[in-house]
Structure 1
Amino acid sequence: MTIRVIVAGATGWTGSAVAKGVRAAEDLTLAGAVARSAAGRDIGEVLGEAAAGITVVATVAEALKAGADVLVDYTAPQAVKANTLQAVSAGVAVVIGTSGLSVDDYAEIDAAARANDVGVFAAGNYSITATLMTKFALTAAKYVADVEVIDYASAGKADTPSGTARELAERLSDLRQPATSKPVSELAGIRETRGGAVGAVQVHSLRLPGYVLSCEAQFGAPGERLLIRHDAGSDATPYVAGTLLAVRRVREQAGLRRGLDLLIE
């Protein structure tokens, strides 16, 4: 029996690639599509493919009426939390691809998912190579005390830091050794130039034309440095396989799980 999937943000940069991936997969069925800009149109035609017989709707609430097993959200930071909680309350599992959620947001989502016996999966980045960057950085943090994260994105990216950088910093915070650099609270001058703290890690976000998405962990030790970096390409292809892997496995466990490395080990 195939998994019925709703894609929210189905006409966006990543959402459209995921919707196409769902349509092409033999074990998945596209059960609904959400996109305000294309509401009322057939999703197949919107994607430049054959008609799918599925009308794009404007809200997740409308899409859930048709029934589904999993909601994939690639919408916007201001919409993803409400969409997720709405799906969870309806008993639908959720794969969160949208960045911008805080630790408190994830805690609320986890509590709601457990209360409704529903699985939710979130990752800052669904690329396999980006996941390997995180894995390698976590290994390095066990041996090198000082680490900071730098996040690069296009001038128009709405949230800061990126989901990749936020997740990386949070996870580094859980196992890093005490830093040897002077605490920000003890610095003179303009302290904001040292970036923002995500847990126990300083994060610096650049938003400039010419970048797509990049993230790096910089480690420093006496006399040497280690740079672990991931650079995204100009299309969303790298994120599809990881997202569909999460779709297939999100219902295995109630509550929230975070980090694609949990699924590729």
Structure 2
Amino acid sequence: MTIKVVMAGATGWVGRAMVPAIAAQGDMMLAGAVARNAAGQDCGGALGLPPNGVTVSATLAEALALPSDVVVDYTKPDVVKANALAAISAGRHVVIGTSGLGAADYAEIDSAARGSSVGVIAAGNFSITATLMKRFALMAAKYVPDVEVIDYASAKKPDAPSGTARELAEALADVRGRSTARPVAEVSGVPGTRGAAVGAGSGVQVHALRLPSYILSCEALFGLPDERLTIRHDAGSSAAPYVAGTLLAIRRVTSVKGLVRGLDALID
């Protein structure tokens, strides 16, 4: 069976890498593309590639008017939730690579997906090495309860923290023990400099840095008396690391009902 894929954010950083990757798969075809800045153009031509016969739509609603199976979203934080819910309502499975959603958003998406009997796979980062960073950090958190997350991204990134850091902090909060750090409510001076708590219970403190020269980096810092452990992932300037994980999610999402979060759930 050929999986018909709609690429939302087709002219974006990851979308540009995903369009030819989807076309190169023997079990997939590009059924639609969404990018307001290239609406009406041939998708291949808009990316500087040979024409592929797919006309770029200005909105996801336009793309959903044609037959498809899976919507892949690499758009922007302010539209990803609406896109996911629209795709689910239209009976499409969804792969979410866009960051900016919180636990409440994912709960709403999960409920909608279950109601429509479709699957959604969302990951803060579809890179295999970023997934391993999360895996190793969760292993460490079972033994070292004191952990904080530092999130690095470019100065113009619109959301904070990144999806990678947010997903990591929420997962860490679920498995780590009680922190020995002074509660933020008891901190004098400027408590906001202690970062923001992300995740269940008291959460895990996350510190988001936004500076030129960073693409995306995330590190989990663990501390015990007289020793520290840092587990860090650094992304390069290419979107290539996200392609393989996204293709895996496209293949798996059609057999899922409801929401699955994290690429680690797939590689297991």
| TM > 0.5 | yes
For 1:242, the equivalent position in structure 2 comes to: 245
Letter in 2 for 1:238: P
For 2:6, the equivalent position in structure 1 comes to: 6
Letter in 2 for 1:142: K
For 1:233, the equivalent position in structure 2 comes to: 236
In the alignment, does 2:52 pair up with 1:52?
Answer: yes
For 1:67, the equivalent position in structure 2 comes to: 67
- Number of equivalences: 265
Give me the TM-score of the superposition, normalised by structure 2. Answer: 0.98
Residue 57 of structure 2: SS of its match in structure 1? coil
Contact 1:34 1:57 in 2 (8 A): yes
How far is 1:102 from its partner? 1.1
How far is 1:48 from its partner? 1.8
Contact 1:68 1:92 in 2 (8 A): yes
For 2:212, the equivalent position in structure 1 comes to: 209
For 2:173, the equivalent position in structure 1 comes to: 173
For 1:33, the equivalent position in structure 2 comes to: 33
Contact 1:141 1:175 in 2 (8 A): yes
How far is 1:253 from its partner? 1.7
In the alignment, does 2:199 pair up with 1:220?
Answer: no
Q: Please provide the CA RMSD for this pair.
A: 0.6
5+ long unaligned stretches in structure 2: none
Letter in 2 for 1:235: S
For 2:191, the equivalent position in structure 1 comes to: 191
Structure 1 distance, partners of 2:213, 2:257, is 40
5+ long unaligned stretches in structure 1: none
1:170-203 Cα shifts (integer Å, max 9, x gaps): 0001011000111101111100000011021000
Structure 1 distance, partners of 2:99, 2:221, is 22
Residue 66 of structure 1: SS of its match in structure 2? coil
Structure 2 distance, partners of 1:251, 1:172, is 28
Structure 1 distance, partners of 2:3, 2:47, is 21
Contact 1:20 1:47 in 2 (8 A): no
Give me the TM-score of the superposition, normalised by structure 1. Answer: 0.99
